[in-house]
A and B are shown apart, each in its own frame.
Chain A
Amino acid sequence: MGRKLLLENINVPGINTFDVYRQKGGYRAVEKVLKGMSPEDVVEEVKKSGLRGRGGAGFPTGMKWSFLAKPEGKPRYLVCNGDESEPGTFKDRYLMTYIPHLLIEGMIVSSFALGANTSYIYVRGEMMPQIRILEKAIAEARNAGFLGKNILGSGYDLELYVQPGGGAYICGEETALIESLEGKRGNPRIKPPFPAISGLYNCPTVVNNVESIAATVPIINDGGDEYAKLGIGRSTGTKLISASGNLNKPGVYEIELGVPVEEFIYSDEYCGGIANGKRLKAVVAGGSSVPILPANLILKTLNGENRLMSYESLADGGFASGTMLGSGGFVAFDEDQCIVRNTWNYARFYHHESCGQCSPCREGTGWMEKVLHRLEYGHGKLSDIDLLVDVSKKIEGNTICPLGDAAAWPVASAIRHFRDEFEWHVSRPEEAMDRNYGLAHYADPLPKPEAVAAN
């Protein structure tokens, strides 16, 4: 069994209440920082932990914190990003539902570290039940003296509020989230200035994912060095993985970073293998935005090494043969799934969610959706496949925010690895309407590394 830091007590009855959470050692991290640490000490521990942003980008959290400007006379804000909308990702929902006080505790610790006296948790509007859960937890923490004025007699004040979104994926991008929190459309801002200099209400602001904030609690309790001992290389600590698709046991798992992908999919401790006795065809390992890989490439790298659930190992081979850990949204496809249909579905998602500010994304996502639709429904041409690659390249890197890249990568990677399935949709349109392409060669053993080198 891997070590658990966030979900250790998840099965304790009543852990969603303040009293049980407290009995289980909850709010110790708040006591520790308010009674014996300076804000700089807290930032230092988080830096030492090597924690990387758990929302998808993987940027070191401690470093992000250290960029926060501290001008005299201006308030600073911490905003927690609970907009969780990346297809395949549902770990933050889980955490907020079952152990809300872990997030509240992390918010207090992190707000103290950043010198914020008002902090917001921005939760996607569809998660109204979770918003109610968090508001109840905040009220409990306040009654117990962990929020409000002069917390635990330390002189530190903190007010914490939950803000609902309105159903827009783009608001997971931090500057769009800030715009939304200001009561505007979720249009990402041009950077610089970065939020650390000018964010919410033009004040210095840090935006962190729910899981990142929660992870500060064990980091403070055990020390940054202890946290950094877990995991592998620069992928320190544990990560929540949202497992979905055709798996025997979909759900949220806390893994120590570095677990082999094969073990994660097939062992009974985790997903328990592919559902209905089918074979694995493909995996999207880090949420819909990251490149899709066929079964053989998700299990092994081109060098023949076992692929691990870590930032580095999943990215091994670059986009040619690798992918990204992203948000940890792990979607498994069985042999009966159609890659063309799925790619069309994702393209429709990004078209729907594009804010419309940048023309490459606004027009390109719609164009890709249209072309993929005709491929899926048997009206495609062979040249459409290269057209898709071309359009995706013209979106990538040409937009204000990463939604453009996120829309381009799934399409480009699907064609990179499953081109023959796309071609089959063009050459055998009637057959493609009737049945799916199947597993084909996508799980075949990879060529030996020597053979690859010789080529």
Chain B
Amino acid sequence: MLKVSNTEEIVFTPELITKFNEIVARYPEGKQKSALLPILHLAQAEYGWVSTPVMDKVAEFLDLKPIEVYEVATFYTMFFLKPQGKYVLEVCRTGPCCLVGAEKIMKYIEQKLEVKEGEVTPDGLFSWRGVECLAACGMGPVLQIGPEYTFYENLTEAKVDELIDGLRLKTAEKAQII
């Protein structure tokens, strides 16, 4: 799982370090380990996933042993331990959403993106996976996209089309500008 594919030295930007320090200040002296989850979220937002070098660097920053970071990152399902698509579509797969069609939506996403759950599209743009209850059962089926965790509710196939096509278009337009 913890494959090292990125061995260059990780350097956190000054902006990131400022944010990290703000978080550490929330806890009593010597309890900086409490900052681990919020900091891993920020690191994942920056790098797209949490590689071993990133975890090692977080450990160094918080004065923890690397294992203390690994054991946490592997426990919480929100942290990606391998590279993902730029947009990760996370669809709720739990009971209440399935009563209103979540399984169909997942199948449709799989067909549309032409990749299996957990795989990345060849253009690097998308990956998708089923996740457990997102606490939005009354608006099901639902999906979220990190790192902002934007939420899409009452999904239909048409809404999935609109979302995926929209993200493709956005990326293509950006590429043209560059």
Contacts and interface: CB of A to CB of B under 8 A. Distances in A.
B1 to A, nearest CB: 15
Given A84-B135, A168-B77, A184-B68, 5 more contacts: A93-B135, A163-B26, A165-B37, A331-B137, A341-B98
Interface residues of A, number: 58
Interface stretch (B146-154, B161-169, B170-178): B146-154
A183 interface: yes
B79 interface: yes
Contact of A185 (B26, B71, B134, B146): B71
29 contacts: A85-B133, A87-B94, A87-B95, A87-B132, A88-B95, A90-B139, A127-B135, A129-B149, A129-B150, A163-B26, A163-B34, A166-B37, A166-B76, A167-B78, A168-B75, A180-B37, A184-B71, A185-B71, A201-B31, A243-B138, A284-B95, A288-B133, A333-B99, A337-B99, A341-B98, A342-B95, A345-B93, A345-B94, A346-B94
Contacts of B35: 183
Interface residues of B, number: 43
A251 B34 contact: no
Nearest to B92: A87
Interface in B75-89: 75-79
B68 to A, nearest CB: 8
Contact of A86 (B26, B71, B133): B133
Interface string A105-138: 0000000000000101000111111000000000
Contact of B99 (A118, A163, A331): A331
B66 interface: no
A93 B136 contact: yes
A245 B94 CA distance: 11
B48 interface: no
B91 interface: no
Contacts of A166: 37, 40-41, 72, 75-79
Instruction: Indicate the member of B37, B40, B151 with the most A CB atoms within 10 Å.
Output: B37
Given A90-B136, A201-B28, A243-B138, A125 B34 contact: no
Interface string A285-323: 000100000000000000000000000000000000000
Interface of A: 75, 84-90, 92-93, 118, 120, 124-129, 159, 161, 163-169, 180-186, 201, 242-246, 250-252, 284, 288, 329, 331, 333-334, 337, 341-342, 345-346, 349, 352-353, 355
A242 B139 CA distance: 11
Contacts of A92: 135
A181 B93 CA distance: 27
Contact of A89 (B41, B79, B99, B135): B135
